[in-house]
Structure 1
């Protein structure tokens, strides 16, 4: 059992975090081998890129939430949104090249 601490600075300092991280890392490594063996067609990869574009839009929404809830500064919001705008554009260009 873990000792109760007055204050935990980082979740990564907890034994439960360390164990969960180690297991998830092992699962990730095991699944990488499976995915490395798969070959994807251009349409499959384009579909994957389309999902990434959707995820990019979702993250932009979460960034806006974080700002509106006053968790981040306007400067941080602007920096992140600008970064995601670039990533979004790169994904769109990549998807177009696959057609």
Structure 2
């Protein structure tokens, strides 16, 4: 029997998004100081945007609004993927960190797309 989802905290997609945000904060601590207001800031905002949009969309009354917030989270995943690639190319992020983050972002994106499809079917 499926568990009833009572809060956005019950969603695996939200939990993974939060995990990604924490990992981005941790891995960007070692970036050069001159990137604090550049790439580091952009990466952290995109990372935080993923679980934040999932949470905000979840509390919306209409599925159309929820779907829009999920699309914003999906866009933040793509934005963060690009920033992770750049960080590695610039030598700020080791290849291992890049691979781990990109794998999680791919999984997050697939879960978001699946959730969007489910919402589309129910409307």
The TM tier, using the shorter chain, reads 0.5 to 0.7
Partner of 1:12: none
Higher relative contact order (CA 8 A, sep 6+): 1
Q: Is the CA contact (8 Å cut-off) linking 2:60 and 2:66 kept in structure 1?
A: no
SS at match of 2:91: coil
CA distance in structure 2 between the partners assigned to 1:40 and 1:55 by the alignment:
23
Deviations 1:56-92 (A, max 9, x none): 0000001001000000111110010000000000000
* Residues 1-99 of structure 1 aligned to structure 2 (within 5 Å): 39-99=60-120
SS at match of 2:64: helix
Cα deviations across residues 18-63 of structure 1 (Å, max 9, x unaligned)? Answer: xxxxxxxxxxxxxxxxx7xx64200110011011100100000010
Runs of 5+ consecutive residues of structure 1 not aligned to the other structure: 1-34
Q: Which has the larger radius of gyration?
A: 1
Q: Distance in 1 between matches of 2:60 and 2:66?
A: 10
Find the counterpart in structure 2 of residue 28 from structure 1.
none
- TM-score under structure 1 length normalisation: 0.60
Say how many residue pairs are matched: 63
Give the secondary structure class of the aligned counterpart of 2:92. Answer: coil
Q: CA RMSD in A?
A: 1.4
Tell me which residue corresponds to 1:17.
none
The alignment's TM-score, normalised by the length of structure 2, stands at 0.49
